[in-house]
Structure 1
């Protein structure tokens, strides 16, 4: 892999991992913080909802900001916002917890559009899905770092200092990215207007492009199912199959590992086959099938078979992001990858924001965890059929350019 590709990939991957780690740090700290602050650890769910609500809003305005200030400068600003958000957590008051969630969301949302802007310029077209998928492994890497390091930091220095240590890591990363700015932000336009109309442009751009609109709406369904897998799997396994907390946690870990590995594998398959829309369609059908299989878990299932299904569920419901983001960038005109990604991610974050609450409502209304997984699998299967049909139809209409489908 050429250095012209490797350096931007390493930079965007590192930034993605740090902002992801920053977001996950707060739920990891929640049990320790609760005993001292009096804020229930169960509020972590509301905290994450606020984070992703702010992410949805900030991703929409990220395109014009990237064009005016540069993708590296915006990435640095995101890291600083996350650092201030974690410092707010360390203050230990409820109002500052809310401020923290909004700052972390403001820092998390623009990172992906900014990285898409960079990678769309630097990634070889024949390896675009693979490069984007490698970058997206920063999300599970950040979660793994938070899970592995933050508890140790808490034991070593307390939960407040643990938050501040992660904040320092974000600031150090922002400084270390500075040498890349001259080269990667050379295309910025300091005169780019930041009027309200221009900031809303990414959403209009996505809605106005049929292919982008279709992908964005499908990503809403995929993200909803992904978050429901990660949020409810442990509870479901404990209640419906009788697994212990440790065993259920291991199943979730296997799903995450499967998703991280599959992100790279699906990217390679998409590049090699040259039909990303059809790859996404196939993954959508597979994640629907895995969700239905998950709904069939019972105490009679051997742990090994449950593990296989969890890995398959993770490989599809977590593994789709890189191929999706690469296709969004591929469909965007030159220099507009940030706009297209920001608009599309607003729909993706909407799935993250509304999927788990819908799942909770279904369970609360008496449907049960198994039925809720089946019901949320239906939209993904429909999306899969739609993507496969459009990918096939586009290939028939223009056989010479099916590499984009």
Structure 2
């Protein structure tokens, strides 16, 4: 049963909520965000293609295509404590069991189960923070919470390769599972609903068909179209950097895997700062969406430098990875705050789930596509160029939609 806190203690306890929501996010995404750091070991041991490596990540993101919508609806009806806690627990159990997988296909199956649990972590933690913080601090708080994803990835980029070298890459699955279980238990133990929070009744909405159609109709709203254009392009860049950076640096510059993983750690660390600082900036911008557009421009510039300029020094590579991490991972902070504020009050969970589910289309399709391009051409150039083109197209579309959104701020 969810406990309600008196208003007197809410001002202090909301920071506890922010802490545990961030921890749960970092724990739930730890392995999925860090699998790119051990992809070289998995690829070499199992004789996998780049396409198959990309498909491993896509497997964990497959169920959320529908699962995020279901999770969003559940969050509008039930306690975040239950929905997020149990979902993250499923992530931990599935990863721990994946140690027993003896084939590539068995590993894919376990990662699909991971995706089922992970569906609750993204919209759930965001809804929790949105409920506890008012608009003046919501972007800052949301940025800290969303920093859990690159934070988990940054830690994974250091921890998982070390575990893989010491005990084998299969042990990395167990470590990821135990961390997710820890995050789930902490969230279920300490989460409380803000005073006055009550479940939203939906009996008057009619049949299930009408409910589904009314929810999906939100896609036609101007704000949602802008959300989709930026979300799909930027999440594609994020996962392209996440999965293929280590492979790119290892093959192009003959860099040691741990050295390349360290640069990925730098990008993830910069992403932590980006999600917090860019979201805090959005609290003070006339338009909360403006920082997202800045990120799109910055990502295009960073990828052009990665593709076309010679990068021979670790310092220059570190600066570039920091830039790509800050904007290529940091965009999500102000973006998700914008999504939460664009939603009707009684449909926040579903709108967050819908926006994230649309992003899943790119998360599921882009990594295998980039891997397939690499297998066919033998060059990373085509894949990076595709990400540049997608982001440029998304930027042009979102600029075009800005006028419509100014006339209709709510989904």
Q: TM-score, normalised by structure 2?
A: 0.83
Correspondence for 1:65: 74
Aligned 1:220-235 pairs, distance under 5 A: 220-235=232-247
Q: Indicate the RMSD between aligned Cα atoms, in angstroms.
A: 3.5
Correspondence for 1:19: 28
Listed as ranges, the gaps of 5+ residues in structure 2 are 1-9
The answer as to whether partners of 2:250 and 2:257 remain within 8 angstroms in 1 is yes
Q: Using a 3 Å threshold, how does the CA distance of structure 1 residues 69 and 48 change in structure 2: closer, same or farther?
A: same
How far did residue 184 of structure 1 move?
Answer: 5.2
How far did residue 231 of structure 1 move?
Answer: 2.2
The answer as to whether partners of 2:226 and 2:401 remain within 8 angstroms in 1 is no
How far did residue 14 of structure 1 move?
Answer: 1.1
Q: Does residue 210 of the first structure (1) align with residue 219 of the second (2)? A: no
How far did residue 383 of structure 1 move?
Answer: 2.2
Listed as ranges, the gaps of 5+ residues in structure 1 are none
Q: Using a 3 Å threshold, how does the CA distance of structure 1 residues 364 and 90 change in structure 2: closer, same or farther?
A: closer
How far did residue 151 of structure 1 move?
Answer: 5.4
Correspondence for 1:342: 353
Q: Using a 3 Å threshold, how does the CA distance of structure 1 residues 366 and 165 change in structure 2: closer, same or farther?
A: closer
How far did residue 158 of structure 1 move?
Answer: 7.0
How far did residue 219 of structure 1 move?
Answer: 0.7
Q: Using a 3 Å threshold, how does the CA distance of structure 1 residues 77 and 289 change in structure 2: closer, same or farther?
A: same
Flag the structure with more relative contact order, 1 or 2, with Cα contacts below 8 A and sequence separation at least 6: 2
Q: Does residue 125 of the first structure (1) align with residue 135 of the second (2)? A: yes
Correspondence for 1:381: 392
Q: How many residues align?
A: 397
Q: Using a 3 Å threshold, how does the CA distance of structure 1 residues 201 and 322 change in structure 2: closer, same or farther?
A: farther
Q: Report the Cα distance in structure 2 between the residues aligned to 1:372 and 1:47, rounded to whole angstroms.
A: 18
Q: Does residue 294 of the first structure (1) align with residue 306 of the second (2)? A: yes
How far did residue 85 of structure 1 move?
Answer: 0.4
Aligned 1:281-360 pairs, distance under 5 A: 281-298=293-310, 301-360=312-371
Q: Report the Cα distance in structure 2 between the residues aligned to 1:57 and 1:76, rounded to whole angstroms.
A: 19
The answer as to whether partners of 1:63 and 1:199 remain within 8 angstroms in 2 is no
Q: Report the Cα distance in structure 2 between the residues aligned to 1:352 and 1:55, rounded to whole angstroms.
A: 10
Q: Give per-residue Cα distances to partners, 1:70-89, cap 9 Å, x unaligned.
A: 21211111122112202321
How far did residue 53 of structure 1 move?
Answer: 1.0
Q: Report the Cα distance in structure 1 between the residues aligned to 2:187 and 2:34, rounded to whole angstroms.
A: 22
Task: Name the SS for the 2:198 alignment partner.
Answer: coil
Correspondence for 1:112: 122
Aligned 1:178-217 pairs, distance under 5 A: 178-183=188-193, 186-188=197-199, 197=209, 200=212, 204-217=216-229
Correspondence for 2:55: 46
Q: Report the Cα distance in structure 1 between the residues aligned to 2:252 and 2:317, rounded to whole angstroms.
A: 12
Correspondence for 2:88: 79
Moved more, 354-363 or 8-17: 354-363
Aligned counterpart in structure 2 of residue 91 of structure 1, from 79, 82, 100: 100
The answer as to whether partners of 1:60 and 1:342 remain within 8 angstroms in 2 is yes
Q: TM-score, normalised by structure 1?
A: 0.84
Q: Report the Cα distance in structure 2 between the residues aligned to 1:154 and 1:202, rounded to whole angstroms.
A: 47
Q: Give per-residue Cα distances to partners, 1:41-86, cap 9 Å, x unaligned.
A: 6655332111111222211211221123221211111122112202
How far did residue 221 of structure 1 move?
Answer: 1.2
